[in-house]
Structure formats: structure tokens, C-alpha cells
């Protein structure tokens, strides 16, 4: 069985547009028949979402990203205040982002503030701060981008 994440475009019980993600498991034969979509639709209906359903698996989620870019839902300008070497604030022009900071100069093995994550070129390990900060949309940046 192969677990897959399926995005299901639909309407919530309150009528609002939504795109929840459901995890389904299918065999290769079921995948070829589209059973992963059928299983995701069943989960969506059980969760209270309303038809019609439009499903996207990982091979098709580029369409979602393209739409998000066209609708200006993906940040294009990100400003990070790193005064004194610490993340002081993170702002972007739209939506929100998660920021992972890293500092390759810190080689202290006992430092609890960093961890090793494969975020470098070709998946190499880079020492990253174990800090994630959500950015806020800044109306000033939205105007600057326009």
C-alpha cells in the first residue's frame, strides 16, 4: 500500500471554498484506476465537505501552486530583521511563510538552538536554528511590490 496526500477542492459545510488534504493508501493497481481520488472524496464527504470535489495528487499539485502565484497568494518579497544576529521580525507581501534560519559559523556540538537538516545544495546537511517563525503580511510591502 502506498500512502498519498490528496488535495480536495470543495466547499465546507458552511459553503466556504476550501482545499483540505487527506491521506489515503492505495496499491499501484488502485492508483492506476484512480481509486486514490475515490478514497479522498469519501473522506471529504465524511468530514462534511460538499460536492463537487476536484482532487489533486502530488503529480498535479503544480496547478495549485500556479493558481496561488496568479492570485498573489505566494509571497514574493520577504524582509527579515536580523539585528544582532537574531531574527527580530519577518514580514512578507502576502500570505504567510515559515522561516528556517541557519548559521554555518556555529560549530558548537552542544548548542541546543541548532539541529542538522538537509536544506543545503543536493540535500547536504546544514546546521539550522530549531526556530520557526510565521511571517505577517505587511501592507507596506504589498504596495512596494505593486
Confidence of residue 131 (pLDDT cuts 50, 70, 90): very low
Q: 89: which strand partners?
A: 81
Alpha carbon distance 20, 44 (integer Å) = 8
Lowest mean pLDDT among 73-77, 87-91, 99-103: 99-103
The mean predicted confidence, pLDDT, of the chain is: 76
Of 43, 69, 95, the residue at which a domain comes to its end is 69
Q: In residues, how long is the chain?
A: 146
- 83 and 61 co-located in one domain: no
- 13 and 60 co-located in one domain: yes
- pLDDT at residue 51 above 50? yes
What is the pTM (predicted TM-score) of this model? 0.55
Of 45, 69, 93, the residue at which a domain comes to its end is 69
- 108 and 128 co-located in one domain: yes
- 88 and 138 co-located in one domain: yes
CA 117, 119, 123, 125 dihedral sign is: negative
- 63 and 91 co-located in one domain: no
- 11 and 59 co-located in one domain: yes
- 101 and 121 co-located in one domain: yes
Q: Burial level of 51, CB count in 10 A (0-12/13-18/19+)? A: exposed
Residue 36: domain span: 2-69
Lowest mean pLDDT among 16-20, 44-48, 63-67, 69-73: 69-73
Lowest mean pLDDT among 44-53, 65-74, 122-131: 122-131
- 47 and 106 co-located in one domain: no
State the total domains in the chain: 2
- What's the angle, vertex CA 72, arms to CA 69 and CA 76, rounded to 5? 80
Alpha carbon distance 51, 122 (integer Å) = 42
- pLDDT at residue 117 above 70? no
Amino acid at each position: 500500500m502506498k500512502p498519498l496526500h490528496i488535495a480536495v477542492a470543495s466547499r465546507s459545510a458552511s459553503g466556504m471554498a476550501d482545499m483540505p488534504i487527506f491521506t489515503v493508501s492505495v496499491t499501484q493497481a488502485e492508483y492506476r484506476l484512480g481509486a486514490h481520488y475515490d478514497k479522498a472524496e469519501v473522506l471529504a464527504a465524511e468530514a462534511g465537505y460538499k460536492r463537487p470535489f476536484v482532487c489533486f495528487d502530488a503529480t498535479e499539485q503544480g496547478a495549485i501552486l500556479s493558481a496561488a502565484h496568479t492570485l498573489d497568494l505566494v509571497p514574493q518579497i520577504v524582509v527579515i530583521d536580523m539585528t544582532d544576529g537574531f531574527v527580530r521580525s519577518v514580514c512578507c507581501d502576502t500570505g504567510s511563510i515559515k522561516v528556517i534560519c541557519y548559521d554555518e559559523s556555529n560549530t558548537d556540538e552542544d548548542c541546543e538552538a541548532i539541529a542538522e537538516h538537509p536544506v543545503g545544495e543536493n540535500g547536504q546537511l546544514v546546521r539550522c536554528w530549531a526556530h520557526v517563525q510565521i511571517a505577517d503580511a505587511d501592507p507596506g510591502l504589498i504596495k512596494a511590490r505593486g
